Structure 1
Amino acid sequence: MRTARRASNVEVPSFLRQLVKETEKMVTFFFKGGSREAGSPDEDNLDEEDALPSPYLERPILEKHTSEGGNDLGLNYAVASMQGWRAQMEDAHTCMSQLRGDLEDWAYFAVFDGHAGITVAQYCSKNLLDHILATGGIKANEDPEQVKEGIREGFLKIDSHMHKLSREDSWERSGTTAAGVLISPRHIYFINCGDSRTLLCHDGQVVFYTEDHKPFNPREKERIQNAGGSVTLQRINGSLAVSRALGDFDFKEADWRPQTEQLVSPEPEVYKLERTPEDEFLILACDGVWDAIGNEELCAFVRNRMQVCDDLRDICAQVIDLCLYKGSLDNISIIIVCFPGAPQVSQEALQQEAELEHQIDVKVEGDFLYIGLNLIRPGVHMREHHILGYITTVGNSAKLGPCDYICRGLAQILRGKVNTPNVSFKKTMTLFFYQK
């Protein structure tokens, strides 16, 4: 029986994880000589064009790009992506519900989370499958060990090819993670290189998920140190936060070492699971999702949505909104792949959803009215209020920003500055939260 790999029971709030990540980047920049003491002559004379560009926007780009598809064998999928707070969109993806020729009953899906540029992620989204198929290991008369070796060899070949192209064509020094699945009539092959992640759900439970490749993992750290590097601030040489990736050729310059023994390895981990009638759906997503929400929570959320919504694109978009609400500052991309055993829309679930929506509307309007009449002021300190999922920790001063945004929006509504005849109170508050 398949069992999920269990993580720690300690759940670190997403905003705290993001704060740690950004602090690491600032400290890394300092150690590289990029930071100056406050008030120094060099800093006073620093031209605007010399300032380090921010990786984040003042306001998130909320436009979502979605698509869907399927095949005649009961496999359906949807994908959605959003730039979010990042200054550039560096995610890419591939969705093929039906391969060509003798592999017409096979499918392939992958997400690529680029960093330091989009070039490698885009190239892999267009060409990685071709490199895998060119190895000859993927055949209609399936041999699982040959399939796994073909996937591994395909990764090494495309990475070597891109390394050559980067030298000839002066590519930007970007890299990408890769999380994918190759689905045959009998098996699911999970493919992972980096810290994007894939999980499989049965009956609302995670039964399998891939493990992130991080520099502080003992096996990864040993390889990095053997290659002459170090792990500082949980990053390779204080810089790169993933230990396996395609591209990132600045970390692959030791020509006398095999590809798999460089500071950053392009070798994927490949796991094979037999398909069963209990298979419900797969989720493939970049770390813009996983930094904000855990495996079990996302699995339960998606399954719940499937029982009240028959549009997979809408469910993907709802996941993106959820991650944004929970503090994700990264690009966000997600693919949901449904098997024949996936949950269907239920009338009972629809009725429960309508009743819950009504209860939430009444409760939220009452809470906001109370807050609006008694607590509208900058820096309000809220305790024991859970408002639209934004304030989830009791008395946490780190949540004052969202509180201020909500209260400013509420103040305008109470003063009659906003007319919302056809928009629910909840959605109006959401709109204010993201326009500020």
Structure 2
Amino acid sequence: MSYVSSVFQRIKVRNANEPEFLQAVEEVFKSLEPVLEKHPEYISANILERITEPERQIIFRVSWVDDQGVLQINRGFRIQFNGALGPYKGGLRFHPSVYIGIIKFLGFEQIFKNALTGLPIGSGKGGSDFDPKGKSDGEVMRFCQSFMTELYRHIGPDVDVPAGDIGVGGREIGYLYGQYRRIKGVFENGVLTGKGLSYGGSLVRTQATGYGLIYFVDEMLKHNNKVLQGKTVVISGSGNVAIYACQKATALGAKVIAMSDSNGYIYDENGIDLPLVRQLKEVERKRIRSYLNFHPEAQYIEGCKNIWSIKCDIALPCATQNDISLENAKTLVANGVIAVGEGANMPCTNEAINYFLENKILLAPAKAANAGGVATSALEMSQNSMRYYWTFEEIETKLKNIMVTIHSNAAAASSEYGFGYNLVAGANIAGFKKVADAMMAQGNY
């Protein structure tokens, strides 16, 4: 048994009931054999086991009162995974599926994603099994206030800087920050990112993950003598990442023909009416089936997984983890897909990833392709530190340059370690080496 396999077996025993975390670790470890052969000092320093064990795991009770006056109880989490590169940085997810294994998988992925940005940020992740869907603004506010009443003691601009994720948008960040400010008594706006523009937020932050995904995919296509213009695109999801990926892909000449939510998907062969989707999802908070009220010529199909049966040139899974299974991957390949860009965190199963790579499909891995969100969060932190605002154009230019550099570094790492043009391996290696070197420099702890 190889060294990497033996370490993974120990990690499996220690984290036996956390399949998402183990899936993320296995996917990274597959790329690291040649790195460890070239750098045996990483083995001597036991980097693999150290990097897969969070520095700190915090679990706490969140008590809040609903609109009927009934006391409700949820569970809150914050994992400060790796601080070798800077303050812990990563989003908060509010969703019923959240448990410690989900937060660990997200935090582990965040280690490499944050390293790839080239910015001084470590890795953290958090959230709760609270579901904001169907809750009033008052209920969401009371939950967020209770959540922050515990979380505040573990975070700070130079300690841990949370942001949003699924279920945590501008409304939730506002309530969280308001409670933090009330408790601490200071205007410390560098403690959260994704804030509103009126109190320290950054332009482009809302668009950043979706825009960054398209910039990365566009760079990947160009590297392989292909273009985005004229391509048909299918996007799963209809949140921030999906909406702004759709916007930027359309601006660069592609045609997005399908989007989804957790209930089903819409297929519009004329091209998705994005302003309508934004109105339905961002303003009215309606299900995507309402699209048919305005475009009866479009189709709505129940079951969001079936979106991958639509023939397209480019697939962009932007919803949630394990969105594309091996079966979905086979269907996409059979229908002629040329590229897949992971907008969500770990949206393809490991079996699907392997199938895409075996069939020479261009694959933009999540830890590289969706790093634009956290990169712009770090730019928000910089602006907060300077008490200064950059323009939309300045930040978008910085974002594009970061995504182009991530692609270049991933491609170079892949080539250096014998993987050819394999951005999955390249992103893993480039991110790992940066963090491993920082850990080595700081000693054993």
Normalization by structure 2: what TM-score?
A: 0.25
- More strand by percentage: 1
Normalization by structure 1: what TM-score?
A: 0.25
Higher Cα Rg, which structure: 1
